Amino acid sequence: MTITVTRRTFLAGSAAAAGTAVLGRPGRALAADPLAVAFVYTGPIGDHGYTFAHDVGRRAVEAHFGDKVKVTFVENVPEGPDCERVIRQLATSGNQLIFSTSFGFMEATLKVAKQFPKLKFEHATGFKRADNLAIYNARFYEGRAVLGDIAGRMSKAGVAGYVASFPIPEVVMGINAFTLAAQKHNPNFKTKVIWANTWYDPGKESDAAKALIDKGADILCQHTDSAAPLQVAESRGVYAFGQAQDMSAYAPKAHLTAVVDQWEGYYIDRVQKALDGKWTSTDIWWGFKEGLVGLAPYNAAMPADVKASADKLKADITSGAVHPFTGPIKNQKGEVVYADGKKASDEDMLKMNWYVQGVES
Amino acid sequence: MWVKVEPRQEASRRVIYATPVLAVGLTVLSGYFLFLFLGLAPAKTLYHFLISPTLTFYGWSELCVKAGPLVLIASGLAIGFRANVWNIGAEGQLTLGAVGAGGVALAFWGESGLWILPLMCLAGILGGMLYAAIPAFLKTRYEVSEILTSLMLTYVATLALGILVYGPWRDPMGFNFPQTRMFSDSALLPLILDGTRMHLGILVTLAVAVAAWMMMARTVIGFQIKVVGLAPAAARFAGFSRNRTVWFSLLLSGGLAGLAGTFEIAGPIGQLVPHLTPGYGFTAIIVAFLGRLHPLGIIASGFLMAISYNGGEIAQVEDRLPQAATGVFQGMLLFYLLACDFLSRYRIRLAATRREASPS
C-alpha cells in the first residue's frame, strides 16, 4: 500500500496524532515520540577498548530500534564535579533513560537520579541503587580466568605481565582470576603487576608493558583500554591479550584472544523494557552465560589442546560447573583464604582487596 | 626577504581592549568553518557552544561552579607571575589542601558544629602553603627552579592522595572502592541558592579576587612584587628582598590553591576521590594570562573558560560535536587571544637584509 502524503494530509495527520496524544493515556502521552536514551562515557569512543565497547552497544540500540529511539552520547567526561553537570544536562534536555558507564560517575548519577524521579538511570560497575537507578556490570573475571588458562600453557617463563589501571575490586578480581587459572597448569606461575594509574593513556601503558617484559614476562595481560601494550608485545615478540574487544588488528602475531564486552544485548533489553513500560531498577551482574562477556577468536598460533582447554573452561564457567574462585586459595602471605572446595561469594568478590599467592604487585 | 619583529612604541588602550573581542570574533569565524567541515549546522552549534550556557539562571550557576576554582587559583598565581615566580604546581597544592581539609572532615565525621568548616578551610590553606613551601625553600636556598619542583611535586601529591583514598581513608562501607565517606552536613559548604550547586566558596572567591586587586594596586607589598618582577636590579637597589618575594608569592598562591581544593571537596564533590579536578591547577595558569594577570581580568577569563567547557558539553549533547572538536575550539580561542595580544604589542615588518632583520 502506498500512501501519498501531501502537506495538507500531513498536517491533518499531525493534528490527529496530537489530538490523540492529548486525549491518550497520561503516562505515555506522546506515544509516537521516540524514547530519548543517553550514554555518558569516561573515555573517548575511539579508545578501541572499554568505551568503544559501550559505544558498540549504543549503536546496536540505534540499529535495533531505529526511529523509536533518539540516542545521545557524551564522551571523555571527567570523573569529578563535571560529570554531575553533564548528567543533569542530559536529564533536562529530555532524555528518559540515561546510562552512565563508569564507576566514578556513581555519586553524581545518584544525585541527579534523586532530582529527576520520573527519569530512569542506569550506572555501570557501581554499587549504589535507587528506585529509578539500576546498576549493571559484567563478570569480566570469568573471561580473565580463561585468559589465565591460556597464559598458563603459552608462557614458557611462567611469568605474566599485567598492565593494570587502578586497584579497585573489579581489577583486583581480574588479576586474581587470571593468576589462579594459570596456576592450574603451572603451580609456580607468577603475575607481575604495574599500575598505570589511568584507564587510557597509550604512552604510560606502553611504558608499563615494556617494563614488564624487561622484568621477564613473556605474556601480557591488560586492564587498561588502549591497544598500546599489545603493540609493544607485537614488537617485542611476546604474546598478549586484548582488552574489551578483539584487538588482533593491532597485533596480529601477539594477540591470542581478548575478553570481549558485549553490552549490545543488555542495552537492547533495557531499552525495550523502557519502551514497554516494564523497566524496573535492577541489579545485574551478567557473564558468559548471558552473553555479556565473550572471547575474541583465538590466534592460529595456539596449539589445538590449548584452545580445547580454554573452550572447556569457558563452557564449564558458563554451565556453572566451575567457579574461578574455588578453594584452596591462598593470599600473598600464604594464608588460606578459601579452604578446599569453598567458593567466593559475589559479595566477597565485589569488595576484593587482596591478591592471591603468585601475584607480585 | 627577511622578517623583522619589533615592539610597537606603545599599544593604545583601545587596542588592548579590542584584542579579546577580536580574538573571540576570529574564533567564532574559524569555529563556523570547523563545524561546517564536520557536517554540523555551524550556527546552531556555535549557539549551543557560546550562548546556551549563559541563557538560564541554572546555566549561570554552573558557570560559577566551574569558574570558581579557576579564578581563586589564578588570582594567587597571577601575583607570583608578576614577580617572576613561576608556580606551575597549583594542581598539587590544591590536592594537598583537599587532603588537609578532607582529613578534618573525616576526623569529625558524624559530628556537627559551625567550627568544622572554618577548620577545614584553615587546614586546606595550610596544606597548600606547606606544599608550596617546598619549592620556595629549594628556590631561595639552593636556586632550584620552582617551575620544575612545583610541577613535579604535583604528581607526588596525586599519589599521596591515592595512598589515602585507596588505603586508610577508604569508605568502610564502600566495597573497597577508592573513595572516602561522603562528608557530613557540617563539613559541606552551604548553598547560596537552592536547586543549584552555587556554594559559599564562590562568594569567598570573588572577595579574594577583589582583595588581590587592592593588594596589587594599593599596598607596598604589591608594589614590591611588581618591581621585583619588572626590574630585579632596581628592586635590589631599593632594598626589596627577592627571597621574601619568592616565599610570599609561593605561600600565597599555594594557600589559595589549597583553599580551592577545600571548596571543591566541601562543595560539588562532597568526599575525597582519587581524581579531584580536571586539571584546574593547570587551566588556572591559562586563566591568569588570559586575564592579563589582572584580578578583574581573571574573573572575566575564568568565566570565558567556564563557558568554553560547559558549552562544549552542551554542544556534545545537543549537536553530537565530538569531544576532540571541543578541544580544538578551546585551543583556537587561546591561540587567537595570544596571537592578537602579541600583534598588539609587536609589529612584523619586512626587511631587505638579514642584518636589518636581526635584533639590534
Is B94 a member of any domain?
A: yes
CB under 8 A, 24+ apart: contacts of A128-133: A129/A281, A129/A283, A130/A281, A131/A281, A132/A281, A133/A109, A133/A281
Is there a contact between B278 and A78 if contact means CB atoms under 8 Å apart?
Answer: yes
Partner-chain contact B317 A74, CB within 8 Å: yes
Contacts of B158 in chain A (CB under 8 A): 197
Check CB contact under 8 Å for B316 and A75: yes
Mean pLDDT for chain B overall: 89
For the ranges A33-37, A45-49, B12-16, the maximum mean pLDDT occurs at: A33-37
Write out pLDDT tens, residues A174-220. Answer: 999 999 999 999 999 999 999 998 888 899 999 999 999 999 999 99
A348, closest residue in chain B (CA to CA): B175
- Average pLDDT over chain A reads 89
Please name the residues in contact with A305: beta carbons below 8 A apart, sequence gap of 6 or more.
A153
Nearest chain A residue to B266 by CA: give it.
Answer: A81
Nearest CA distance, B195 vs chain A (angstrom): 9
Q: Which of the pair, B113 or B99, is modelled with greater confidence?
A: B99
Angle between helices B323-345 and B280-290 (to 10 degrees): 30
Note whether A219 and A160 are within 8 A (CB).
yes
Helix (H, G, I), strand (E, B) or coil at A355: coil
Half-sphere exposure of residue B133, counting CA atoms within 13 Å on the CB side? 9
Is the pLDDT score of A32 beyond 70?
Answer: no
Q: Do residue B268 and residue A81 have CB atoms under 8 angstroms apart?
A: yes
Confidence bin at A33 (pLDDT 50/70/90): confident
Across the range B207-212, mean pLDDT stands at: 94
Please name the helix (run of DSSP H) or strand (run of DSSP E) that holds residue A91, with its range, or none. helix A81-92
Shortest distance between the Cα of A40 and any Cα of chain B, in A, equals 10
Tell me if B274 and A127 make a contact (CB, 8 A cut-off).
Answer: no
**Cβ <8 Å between A169 and B177:** yes
Residues A41 and A164: their CA atoms lie apart, in Å, by 20
C-alpha distance from B159 to closest chain A C-alpha (Å): 9
**Lowest pLDDT segment from A27-31, A151-155, B95-99:** A27-31
Q: Which domain holds residue B203?
A: 62-290
Residue of A nearest to B66 (CA): A82
* C-alpha distance from B274 to closest chain A C-alpha (Å): 9
- pLDDT band at A80; cut points 50, 70, 90: confident
pLDDT at A27: 42
Report how many domains make up chain B: 1
pTM equals 0.78
Give the mean model confidence (pLDDT) for residues B102-123: 94
Interface residue of A87, A89, A123, A171 to substitute, partner B, most B CBs within 10 Å: A89
Q: Output B316 or A176, whichever has higher pLDDT.
A: A176
Across the interface, whether the CB atoms of A85 and B166 are under 8 A apart is answered no
Give the pLDDT of residue B356.
66
Amino acid at A223: H
pLDDT in tens, A309-326: 999 999 999 999 999 999
- A10, pLDDT greater than 60: no
Residue A11 has pLDDT above 80, yes or no: no
Q: Phi and psi for A240 in degrees, rounded to 5?
A: -160, 165
What's the burial of B306, exposed, middle or buried (CB within 10 Å: 0-12/13-18/19+)?
Answer: buried
Cβ-defined contact of A86 to B313 (cutoff 8 Å) = yes
Q: Is the dihedral of CA A210, A214, A217, A219 positive or negative?
A: positive
Q: Residue B198 and residue B268: Cα distance in Å, rounded? A: 9
Asked if residue B268 has pLDDT above 70, the reply is: yes
Residue B195 has pLDDT above 70, yes or no: yes
Chain A positions contacting chain B at CB under 8 Å are 38, 44, 72-82, 84-86, 89-90, 93, 103-104, 107, 126-127, 166-169, 197, 350-353
C-alpha cell recorded at residue A288: 558468559
Please state the domain extents for chain A.
31-138, 140-261+293-360
Determine the pLDDT at residue A255: 96
Q: Which residues of B touch A (CB under 8 A)?
A: 62, 65-66, 158-159, 162, 166, 174-178, 182, 197, 264, 267-271, 273-278, 309-310, 313-314, 316-318, 320, 322-324
Say if B193 falls within a structural domain: yes
- Using CB atoms, pick whichever of A73, A76, A80 lies closest to residue B275: A80
- Contact call for residues A240 and A233 (beta carbons, < 8 A): yes
Res. B321: pLDDT tops 80: yes
User: Residue A74 and residue B277: Cβ atoms within 8 Å?
Assistant: no
Q: In what helix (H) or strand (E) does residue A294 lie, and over which residues does it extend?
A: strand A293-295
Q: A250 to chain B nearest CA, in Å?
A: 23
- Joined together, the cell numbers standing for residue A153 give 600453557
The sheet carrying A120-124 orders its strands as: A69-74, A35-40, A97-100, A120-124, A133-138, A283-286
Taking contacts as CB-CB distances below 8 angstroms, the residues of chain A near B322 are 75
pLDDT at A44: 87
Return the pLDDT at B1. Answer: 64
Supply the CATH classification number for the domain A140-261+293-360. 3.40.50.2300
CATH T-level fold of A31-138: Rossmann fold (3.40.50)
Q: What is the pLDDT of residue B66?
A: 94
